Chain A
């Protein structure tokens, strides 16, 4: 196995993810959720799947991801999670 390539991939991704939105979300959700383990598994598997997809797509040049749509849905999701933390009781009404 190419150790150098492994280390380059690790360091590049580690540094670019440090303090990035998914880690901030992990901090926010992990601290406030009643089930931090679920937050960890959810975050880690989502990131693994996203990077698995990009590795698989790395071979083919035609990559089509409707980025605005996908990010828009993610924005709505984060917005809802945030609003639920700020105003928990409005969820029940």
Chain B
């Protein structure tokens, strides 16, 4: 009977928990992701492609199924890639890179707005 392995995580709970996740719950993350992605994609090229395809083909359901499956796949790949990276890169580095990436997306969106 093994003993003395019950104290492997002593007082782990108060070990410098940074205040990094005020929104760690499911719904705040879900909603902030949903709203930003939705607004960013509205009127974007993929949506235009889908729109034209369904208008031309007269089979909007099929187009929606194909496009929808593709969108679910790409977002799953994206999240899995992020997870994979988070197991290899330190949290701080990843947060910094992710923050910079999001700011680059912001700049790209602003560029889209200005170039039209």
Contacts and interface: CB of A to CB of B under 8 A. Distances in A.
Q: Give the secondary structure class of A's interface.
A: helix
Q: Which 9 A-B pairs have the closest CB atoms?
A: A9-B66, A26-B78, A42-B33, A31-B82, A82-B102, A30-B82, A30-B79, A85-B99, A58-B54
A58 B105 contact: no
Interface of A: 1-2, 5-14, 16-18, 20-59, 63, 65, 67-68, 70-79, 81-86, 88-89, 91-92
A16 B46 contact: yes
Contact of A44 (B42, B51, B71): B71
A23 B68 CA distance: 14
B61 to A, nearest CB: 8
B49 to A, nearest CB: 6
Nearest to B56: A58
Contacts, number: 320
Interface residues on B, range: 35 or more
Interface of B: 18-22, 24-27, 29-55, 57, 59-83, 85-86, 89, 91, 94-106, 108-110, 112-113, 116
A16 B45 contact: yes
Given A17-B46, A54-B50, A78 B72 contact: no
A49 to B, nearest CB: 6
A77 B20 CA distance: 18
A78 to B, nearest CB: 4
Contact of A63 (B40, B51, B91): B51
B39 A70 contact: yes
A71 B79 contact: no
B67 A51 contact: yes
